[in-house]
Amino acid sequence: MITLIIGGIKSGKTNFALRSALVLNKRNYYYIATAKAIDEEMIEKIKKHKEERGEKWITIEEPLDLTCAFREISENSSVVVDCMTTWLTNLIVEERNIEFETEIFLSLLSKFRKINQIHIFIVTNEVGMGVIPETFLGRKFLNIAGIFNQRLMEISDEAYFMIAGRELRIK
């Protein structure tokens, strides 16, 4: 099963995903982190988030190859993938073939969706509610993320939009 959790920055997406995953009483809990520890602030933020999640969560740090990260997932598990827009940013910065990478990931999700003992929570930022960036790269990112989010919504079994720490079920 796939649950998409979408919303603005600091809207409570990750917290909701983690709480929802724990309620399922699975044997294993995986947190796939796409963020890179690129500076001291990010290093501290990542460390703090690991401590907040606690020992119950197996953290897999994978900023680019999500297929590799999913190879570590075992049966009877809850998986939180956080966050798709960070992952897309990493792909753009590394000049990866985004269309190819996103197709592979969507295909992977479709396969995992059929495994009934695994529940995947996908966290992503809604990018279509702000101003249009004035730079080409900013507009390119909005287009890529907006289309990818639509594709994620299509394959998700359920979806929630987060607003100020409250979830609104949309699918």
CA–CA separation, 139 vs 171, rounded Å? 28
Q: pLDDT category, 38, cuts 50, 70, 90?
A: confident
Annotated catalytic residue, options 49, 96, 113, 151? 49
Q: From the DSSP assignment, how many helices (H) and strands (E) are in the chain? A: 6, 7
pLDDT number for residue 99: 95
pLDDT number for residue 50: 87
pLDDT number for residue 48: 87
User: What percent of the chain stands above pLDDT 90?
Assistant: 84
For the segment 83-135, what is each residue's pLDDT rounded down to a tens digit? 999 999 999 999 999 999 999 999 999 999 888 799 999 999 999 888 889 99
Check if 49 is active-site. Answer: yes
Domains delineated in the chain: 2-169 (3.40.50.300)
| Average pLDDT estimate for 24-50 | 91
Of 81 and 45, more confident: 81
